[in-house]
Chain A
Amino acid sequence: MTDWAVAAITRLLEWILIGLLAGMAAMVLLNVVLRYGFNSGLTFSEEMSRYFFVWLTFIGAVLTFGEHGHIGVETLVRRFGRSGRLICMAISNAIILICSGVMFWGTWIQHDINASMTAAVVGLSMIWVFGVGYFTALGIGVIATIRLFRILTGRTTEAEVAHFAGEWGDGVVQNRGGE
């Protein structure tokens, strides 16, 4: 895939995340205003804002995985030399690949059970919510596969190894939440 395509997909995902966050906030805020100001409310906001939240979390997880953004413990890995780090990186990506495989498979075998259930108020088929597992599993799986392939064929760059070990260069702080 060309860099251009990666950038376009990233940009699209970023806009989706922003839209979901803004949409959640708007629904919850509007509900407060309607209840306090007009003694009425949106019956769908409790449910829909939760679904937006699920999509935000599981779509964002792919984007942040692509940016090495997930919280990790690099203390031990940082002590290793390049080859040690590459071995850890290979095992790590293999484990992540297993996780996304299990997630994809689980979403698949649960597909009909979720598809045959509807949301209590908005009536949406729940596969639209739980089906986000396909996207997350595929997205993370593809990235992990590419990383694994690059390690095995010796194409991994110094920067990638450094990012894996949590080294981002002088003064650069990864904004990783947690607390």
Chain B
Amino acid sequence: QVQERTITISNGVAETHPVGNGVQAMQACFDERTGGTWTLNAFWSAALGNDLDATQALRSGTQEMVVTSTSPLVGIEPALGVFDLPFLFADDQEADAILDGEFGAMISEKMEAHGLINLAYWENGFRNLTNSVRPVTKLEDLEGMRVRVMQNDIFLDTFSNLGTNAMPMAFGEVFTALETGTIDAQENPYVTIDTSQFSEVQEYLTETRHAYTPFMVLFSKAIFDTYSPEEQQILRDCAMEGQAVQRQASRELSQQSLERVQEAGMKFNQLEPTEMERIREAVATVYETHADTIGRDVVEAMQAALDELRSGG
């Protein structure tokens, strides 16, 4: 049975972000499957509050849906910290295989205990480092750099291990702090670097790909349970249709963003494989330090899944 529904969905990003493409695709899918009786009422740029606050609203059943990074949600489900571990995925294919496979399903299941249905994994993407001090070509270049990171223990620890002075700062203050030199560096996916106009205040961009942040398309379990099985299936299917469009848009835009910030004057560099290896080694202990908070079983399951994937294919 399909009823007329208005589904409120919120995001921390602007409508021009690839999430916008995903939401559009979802709406198109709803139109087709429900004969136009479902409307996505979308709110962008944290107009309804930040993603963590919105997620809490989902848990209490006062909002239907949110598209959020996993990182802010570790306070709700510690296992999500696994995605903050440095250098976890080598490339897009690995990320897709793990997230859409058994491991991803296991994490989604954990979310249900918190009153959240994860309809699909979309992506925020690989994170890279920008700074205004020097091009980063080796581990030592990072020494003493003041890097803004998210309020997140694993990121703080990773960047401390790299020799930087890692400091958590509200995103709203980052641009000014970079502009005036209060901080030297920040790390985000290319799309965010581009849309936040960090190219105006940062000179160097280094492809570190030190973390891959997934987006989760979360639905309030309290509200989900009031939907008919048919409606629940429509939600899941359309979130997956959105996934294909969103990931493709994200990857295309990511390349465009990289080109745009270079045109805007940022000096871009990649790291030599040997240097990359040294950097990985410097942060290797982070896995062990945070295994207990994340859950040893979760970290091991991830390792096993990755080993299988890498040997198999």
A175 at the interface (CB under 8 A from B): no
B 147-167 to A, binary, CB cutoff 8 A, 1 in contact else 0: 000111100100000000111
B residues adjacent to A (C-beta < 8 A): 56, 59-60, 72, 74-76, 114-115, 144, 146, 150-153, 156, 165-170, 182
Residue among A40, A109, A120 making CB contact with B152, cutoff 8 Å:
A120
Contact: A126 with B75, CB < 8 Å? yes
- Inter-chain contacts of A39 with B (CB < 8 A): 144, 146, 165
Q: Which residues of A contact B (CB under 8 A)?
A: 35, 39-41, 43, 46-47, 109-110, 113-114, 116-121, 126
- Determine whether the beta carbon of A113 is less than 8 Å from that of B115: yes
A-B contact count (CB 8 A): 49
Name A106's closest neighbour in chain B (CB-CB). Answer: B60
With A119-B75, A126-B75 already in contact, the answer to whether A43 and B156 are too (CB < 8 A) is yes
Contact check, A120 vs B153: say whether CB atoms are below 8 A apart.
Answer: yes
Minimum Cβ distance to chain B for residue A23 (Å): 18
B153 shortest CB reach to chain A, Å: 6
Q: Closest CB-CB distance, B101 to chain A, in whole Å? A: 27
Identify B168's interface contact among A40, A43, A114, A117, CB under 8 A.
A43
- Can you report 14 residue pairs joining A to B where beta carbons are below 8 Å apart? A35-B167, A39-B144, A39-B165, A43-B156, A43-B168, A46-B168, A46-B170, A116-B114, A117-B76, A120-B72, A120-B75, A120-B150, A120-B153, A126-B75
CB-CB nearest in chain A for B149: A43
Alpha-carbon gap, A81 to B40, bound state (A) = 53
Residues of B within 8 A of A120 (CB): 72, 74-75, 150-153
Which residue of A has the minimal Cβ distance to B114?
Answer: A116
Q: Say how far B168's CB is from chain A's closest CB, in angstroms.
A: 5
Asked if A40 and B56 sit within 8 Å, CB to CB, the answer is no
With A113-B115, A121-B168, A126-B75 in contact, do A47 and B151 touch (Cβ < 8 Å)?
Answer: yes
10 closest Cβ pairs, A-B complex? A120-B151, A118-B75, A41-B167, A117-B75, A113-B59, A46-B168, A117-B76, A39-B165, A120-B152, A121-B151
B56 pairs with A114, CB closer than 8 A:
yes
- Residues in B neighbouring A121, C-beta threshold 8 A: 151-153, 156, 168
Q: A40 to B153, alpha carbons, bound, how many Å?
A: 16
Most buried by B among A40, A109, A117: A117
Q: How far is the CA of A110 from the CA of B153 in the complex (A)?
A: 26
Per the bound structure, the CA–CA distance linking A176 and B5 in Å amounts to: 45
Complex: how many Å from CA A119 to CA B75? Answer: 6
Chain A residues whose C-beta falls within 8 Å of the C-beta of B56 in the assembled complex: 110, 113-114, 117
A35 touches B156 (CB 8 A): no
Counting chain B CB atoms within 10 Å of each CB, which of A39, A113, A119 scores highest? A113
- Closest approach, in angstroms, between the C-beta of A174 and any C-beta of chain B? 33
The interface residues of chain A lying within 8 Å CB-to-CB of B170 are: 46
Tell me the bound Cα distance from A176 to B58 in angstroms. Answer: 37
Asked if A113 contacts B60 (CB within 8 A), the reply is: yes
Chain A residues whose C-beta falls within 8 Å of the C-beta of B165 in the assembled complex: 35, 39-41
Residues of A within 8 A of B146 (CB): 35, 39
CB A38 to nearest CB in B, in angstroms, measures 9
